[in-house]
Amino acid sequence: MIAEVAGFIESWMGGKSELRSVSVDLNNDTALLIDIPDALCERDKVKFTVHTKTTLTSFQKPDFSVPRQHEDFIWLHDALVETEDYAGLIIPPAPPKPDFESPRDKMHKLGEGESTMTKEEYTKMKQELEAEYLAVFKKTVQVHEVFLQRLSSHPVLSKDRNFQIFLEYDQDLSVRRKNAKEMFGGFFKNMVKSADEVLISGIKEVDDFFEQEKTFLLDYYSKIKDSTAKAEKMTRSHKNIADDYIHISATLNSLCAEDSTPNKKNLEKLSDLFERLRKVEGRVASDQELKLTELLRYYMRDIQAAKDLLYRRARALVDYENSNKALDKARLKSKDIPQAEEHQRQCLQKFDKLSESAKKELTSFKGRRVVAFRKNLIEMAELEIKHAKNNVALLQGCVDLLKNN
């Protein structure tokens, strides 16, 4: 059964994914247009086809495609993060790993429970499962696409060399991927980062703006993380209910198949109704997931990126302060004063540059966030209304049918 579904997904050479949940349209800079028109899913791996259309001369061809895997995206992200020059920028968060865990679990359960269900029920559950697989798939494609598009629309990042390599390099990028040592280094860096968090909260801030931003972002991050988790649970309950409707409809069907009493008609109508209701309910669940949960999830990651920026700035400030101290010490000892001064000047410069760009980035981030929230909340509300109206129509129809009989 796994092979079946996988095969089905493999044959999904869908068109452009229609679901742009989180970001506003980023492809407004015609100099560099990126999209992911295709994707293949093999077992655990998803192969994306990154297609670029560009008018920039830095590229060899104006129109080209390359296959990429999820790990390649991660490499790109890490490369950007490690670049010193971009320390003052919010690096767009890396796309999360494609997670087919939940549909796969369900598939197992379905396979196990196959004997207890009727044929129709089984087919319906399978359809539902395939739809879910597809939804996860579309989501992951989109998230990767958004990542690239944010890079391409950023004035500085789009010119990054690594980015260009990513877009262009024909061969497999695996040679560039992390080996074990680098993985370990990455792990270590995470430790440092958490130490940074302590650092950042301890440091005294000279600038009000950053002070505010810091408190705000820290607080907001924890809250949004919490909300994301809760929203996920809520969406999952909705999905469970939609599944239950399938079972109810199927059981009602088998009930009235053998029924010869006048009750048969009632049961038939009810079974029909539940079948339609579950479709609506399923869509409610998936829309909610897309508009609300995804929104929260994305901005959670984005805020993490913003926090990272603040950490970098804080570190720069620490460096600057340290250099100040070093300078004082040097002056005291009357040794190496010019180096210390130079060092201090550099630190100051770096810090100032960082602060400036950070300010810009954070302001634009705020604006971006508000716009995205607005768009998604409006869309979610509209979808909820639409689905509820559908439900009302279905229910009213069934009630009328029953009453008239």
Partner 1 sequence: MASSADRNPPPFPASEEPQPELSDMAEGDSDEGEDIFVSNSHPASVSRGVSQPEEPADLFSEEATTTAKPNGVHSDDDDLFAEAQADLSSDPSSDSTRKDLSSSSGPPSARSPAALQPTSLEQVPPLTKLLRNPQTPAGNHLHRHLRLPVPICHVLFLFKPKCLNCFGFRFCINVALCVAAGRRRGQGYFRCGCCCHQPRESRRWDECICGLQSIHQGVYFKALMFNSGCEVLCSHSPSFPRVLLQTSLPMFKSKAFTARRRFSDFLGLYEKLSAKQSLHGCIIPPPPEKSVVGMTKVKVGMDDPSSVEFVEKRRAALERYLQRIVSHPLLLQDPDVREFLERDDLPRAVNTQALSGAGFLKMITKASDAVSKMTIKMNESDTWFEDKFQEVDMEEQQLRKLHAVVDSLVNHRKELCMNTAVFAKSMAMLGNSEDNTALSRALSQLAEVEDKMEQLHQEQAGSDFFIFAELLADYIRLLGAVRGCFDQRVRAWQRWQEAQSTLQKKREAEAKLLWANKPDKLQQAKEEIAEWEAKVTQYERDFDRIGMTVRKEVLRFEKEKAKDFKSQIIKYLEAMLQSQQRLIKFWEAFLPEAKAIA
Among 15, 155, 262, 338, binds partner 1 (CB under 8 A): 262
Q: What string of DSSP letters covers 333-395?
A: HTSSHHHHHHHHHHHHHHHHHHHHHHHHHHHHHHHHHHHHHHHHHHHHHHHHHHHHHHHHHHH
Does 398 participate in binding partner 1 (rule CB under 8 A)? yes
Does 223 participate in binding partner 1 (rule CB under 8 A)? yes
Among 28, 261, 334, 404, binds partner 1 (CB under 8 A): 261
3-state helix, strand, coil in the chain (%, to 5): 75, 5, 20
Q: Whose CA is closest to 323, among 306, 304, 313, 337?
A: 337
Q: Which stretch binds partner 1 (CB under 8 A): 195-203, 220-228, 306-314, 322-330?
A: 220-228
Q: Whose CA is closest to 253, among 122, 124, 118?
A: 118
Comparison of 90 and 330: residue with beta carbon closer to partner 1? 90
Give the CA-trace dihedral at 247, 251, 253, 254, to 10 degrees: 140
Strand ranges across the sheet with 45-54: 32-42, 45-54, 63-69
Count of residues in contact with partner 1, rule CB under 8 A: 55
Does 247 participate in binding partner 1 (rule CB under 8 A)? yes
* 128-159 burial: b if 16+ Cβ within 10 Å, else e: bbbebbbbbbbbbbbbbbbbbbbbbbbeebbe
Does 12 participate in binding partner 1 (rule CB under 8 A)? no
Does 300 participate in binding partner 1 (rule CB under 8 A)? no
Does 267 participate in binding partner 1 (rule CB under 8 A)? yes
Q: What string of DSSP letters covers 48-68?
A: EEEEEEE--TTSS-SEEEEEE
Q: Which stretch binds partner 1 (CB under 8 A): 129-137, 143-151, 172-180, 257-265?
A: 257-265
Q: Are 313 and 355 in contact (CB under 8 A)?
A: yes
Does 182 participate in binding partner 1 (rule CB under 8 A)? no
Does 396 participate in binding partner 1 (rule CB under 8 A)? yes
Q: Which stretch binds partner 1 (CB under 8 A): 22-30, 77-85, 168-176, 393-401?
A: 393-401
Q: What is the DSSP letter of 403?
A: H
CA–CA separation, 137 and 13 (whole Å): 12
Does 366 participate in binding partner 1 (rule CB under 8 A)? yes
Does 370 participate in binding partner 1 (rule CB under 8 A)? yes
Q: Which stretch binds partner 1 (CB under 8 A): 19-27, 131-139, 346-354, 377-385?
A: 377-385
Q: Is 64 exposed, middle or buried (0-12, 13-18, 19+ CB in 10 A)?
A: middle
Among 40, 131, 203, 248, binds partner 1 (CB under 8 A): 248
Among 119, 181, 204, 403, binds partner 1 (CB under 8 A): 403
| Residues of span 270-289 touching partner 1 by CB under 8 A | 270, 273
Comparison of 1 and 392: residue with beta carbon closer to partner 1? 392
How many helices (DSSP H) and strands (DSSP E) are in the chain?
10, 3
CB atoms within 10 A of CB 44: 11
Among 17, 27, 251, 304, binds partner 1 (CB under 8 A): 251
Does 391 participate in binding partner 1 (rule CB under 8 A)? yes
Among 219, 328, 342, 352, binds partner 1 (CB under 8 A): 219
CA–CA separation, 149 and 83 (whole Å): 19
Does 119 participate in binding partner 1 (rule CB under 8 A)? no
**Under the rule (CB under 8 A), what is the footprint of partner 1?**
216, 219-220, 223-224, 226-227, 230-231, 233-234, 236-238, 240-241, 244-245, 247-248, 251-252, 254-255, 258-263, 266-267, 270, 273, 366, 370, 373-374, 377-378, 381-382, 384-385, 388-389, 391-392, 395-396, 398-399, 402-403, 405
